[in-house]
Amino acid sequence: MWDDVKQLADGIGPRRIEDLFQNANRAAEFSLQASGMLFDYSKTQLDDQIRAALIKVAQDAGVEARRDEMFGGAQINETEGRAVLHTALRNLDGGAVLVDGTDVMPEVMATLRQMETVANEIRGSQITDVVNIGIGGSDLGPKMAAIALSPYHDGPRCHFVSNVDGADISDVLRGCDPATTMFIVASKTFTTIETMTNARTARDWLDHHGVSDSGRFVALSSNAAKAAEWGIPGDRVLGFEDWVGGRYSVWGPIGLTLMVAVGPDAFKAFLRGAQEMDRHFRAAPLHQNMPVLLALVGMFHNQVLGHATRAVLPYDNRLSRLPAYLQQLEMESNGKGVSMDGNPLSVHSGPVVWGEPGTNGQHAFYQLIHQGTRTVPCEFLVGAAGHEQDLRHHQDLLVANCLAQSEALMKGRSIEAARDIMRTKGLTGAELERQAAHRVFPGNRPSTTLIYPLLTPEVLGRIIALYEHRVFVEGVILGINSYDQWGVELGKELATSLGPVVTGRETAEGKDGSTRQLVEYVLLYR
Ligand code: F6P
DSSP H helices in 288-391: 290-299, 322-326, 333-334, 366-371
Evaluated on CA atoms 263, 265, 268, 274, the torsion sign reads negative
Task: List the beta bridge partners of residue 99.
Answer: 102
Expressed in angstroms and rounded, the spacing between residue 194 Cα and the centre of ligand 1 is 10
Per-residue confidence at 136, pLDDT binned at 50, 70, 90? very high
The Cα–Cα gap between 326 and 357 comes to: 13
278-317 pLDDT tens trace: 999 999 999 999 999 999 999 999 999 999 999 999 999 9
pLDDT over 90 at 204, yes or no: yes
CB of 266 within 8 A of CB of 461? no
Q: Max Cα separation, the chain? A: 81
Q: Ligand 1 pocket check: which of 84, 140, 198, 488 to mutate, most ligand atoms within 8 Å of Cβ?
A: 488
pLDDT over 90 at 1, yes or no: no
What is the pLDDT averaged over residues 493-504? 94
Ligand 1 atom nearest the C-alpha of 137 is 8
The Cα–Cα gap between 380 and 399 comes to: 11
What is the pLDDT averaged over residues 389-397? 97
What is the pLDDT averaged over residues 195-217? 96
Using CB distances shorter than 6 Å, the residues near ligand 1 are: 135-138, 187-189, 192, 195, 246-247, 332, 485, 488
Pairing mode, if any, of strands 157-161 and 181-186?
unpaired
Q: 405: burial class by Cβ within 10 Å (0-12, 13-18, 19+)?
A: buried
- The DSSP code for 40 is E
Q: What are phi and psi of 344, to 5 degrees?
A: -60, 145
What is the pLDDT averaged over residues 332-348? 96
Per-residue confidence at 400, pLDDT binned at 50, 70, 90? very high
Expressed in angstroms and rounded, the spacing between residue 138 Cα and the centre of ligand 1 is 7
Q: Ligand 1 pocket check: which of 189, 327, 490 to mutate, most ligand atoms within 8 Å of Cβ?
A: 189
DSSP H helices in 376-512: 392-411, 415-424, 429-438, 457-478, 489-502
Expressed in angstroms and rounded, the spacing between residue 312 Cα and the centre of ligand 1 is 23
What is the pLDDT averaged over residues 191-203? 97
Percentage of the chain lying above the pLDDT 90 cut: 99
Indicate which residue's Cα is closest to atom 13 of ligand 1. 187
What is the pLDDT averaged over residues 350-365? 97
The Cα–Cα gap between 506 and 411 comes to: 61
CA-angle at 258, arms to 256 and 261, nearest 5°: 110
Q: How many CB atoms lie within 10 A of CB 60?
A: 11
End-to-end CA distance of the chain, in Å?
A: 55
pLDDT over 90 at 322, yes or no: yes
pLDDT over 90 at 94, yes or no: no
The rounded mean pLDDT for the chain is 97
Per-residue confidence at 21, pLDDT binned at 50, 70, 90? very high
Q: 302: burial class by Cβ within 10 Å (0-12, 13-18, 19+)?
A: buried
Nearest to 318 by CA among 398, 405, 198: 398
Pairing mode, if any, of strands 129-133 and 181-186?
parallel
What is the pLDDT averaged over residues 396-407? 98
Per-residue confidence at 337, pLDDT binned at 50, 70, 90? very high
Nearest 10 degrees: Cα torsion 361, 371, 297, 345: -100
Q: What are phi and psi of 163, to 5 degrees?
A: -75, 145
Active site residues: 332, 363, 492
CB of 89 within 8 A of CB of 108? yes
Task: List the beta bridge partners of residue 314.
Answer: 381
Q: Ligand 1 pocket check: which of 192, 194, 333 to mutate, most ligand atoms within 8 Å of Cβ?
A: 192
Per-residue confidence at 5, pLDDT binned at 50, 70, 90? very high
pLDDT of residue 395: 98
CB of 132 within 8 A of CB of 160? yes
Ligand 1 atom nearest the C-alpha of 489 is 1
Nearest to 467 by CA among 171, 187, 144, 162: 144
Pairing mode, if any, of strands 181-186 and 217-221?
parallel
CB of 31 within 8 A of CB of 40? yes
What is the pLDDT averaged over residues 448-474? 98
Indicate which residue's Cα is closest to atom 3 of ligand 1. 136
pLDDT over 90 at 386, yes or no: yes
pLDDT over 90 at 78, yes or no: yes
Indicate which residue's Cα is closest to atom 5 of ligand 1. 136
Evaluated on CA atoms 220, 223, 224, 229, the torsion sign reads negative
Nearest to 37 by CA among 474, 465, 471, 323: 465
Expressed in angstroms and rounded, the spacing between residue 293 Cα and the centre of ligand 1 is 29
Indicate which residue's Cα is closest to atom 1 of ligand 1. 488
pLDDT over 90 at 207, yes or no: yes
Indicate which residue's Cα is closest to atom 8 of ligand 1. 137
The Cα–Cα gap between 168 and 417 comes to: 50
Expressed in angstroms and rounded, the spacing between residue 222 Cα and the centre of ligand 1 is 12
Cis omega (within 30 of 0) for bond into 359: yes
CB of 219 within 8 A of CB of 236? yes
Residues 6+ apart with CB under 8 A from 442: 371, 412
What is the pLDDT averaged over residues 129-146? 98
The Cα–Cα gap between 295 and 323 comes to: 16
pLDDT of residue 271: 98
